[in-house]
Amino acid sequence: MAKFAMAAIICRSAIYFEDTDAGQIVYHANFLRFMERGRTNYLRLLGTNQRALLEETGNDAPGSSFVVRPMTINFLKPGGPGRPP
């Protein structure tokens, strides 16, 4: 299994019209999609993925999965077409 460490990664993602509201600003809840894509890419960079982690922990905690409980987000600037999230 890969060793996990805190690291900063940059995950560029295209913003589509469907990600925005009427003002062409990324709808706030859609930022969670971008974060999940970044997390998935981070795991891939570490040489693993969610499926492998679930299988590996299956013996210790059968039927468990990864759940995000609390989340606090500080929006620093709006995202939109031509403005990366």
Enumerate the active-site residues. Answer: 21
Among 35, 34, 42, smallest CA distance to 14 is for 34
Interacting residues of 73 by C-beta distance below 8 A, sequence separation 6+? 28, 31
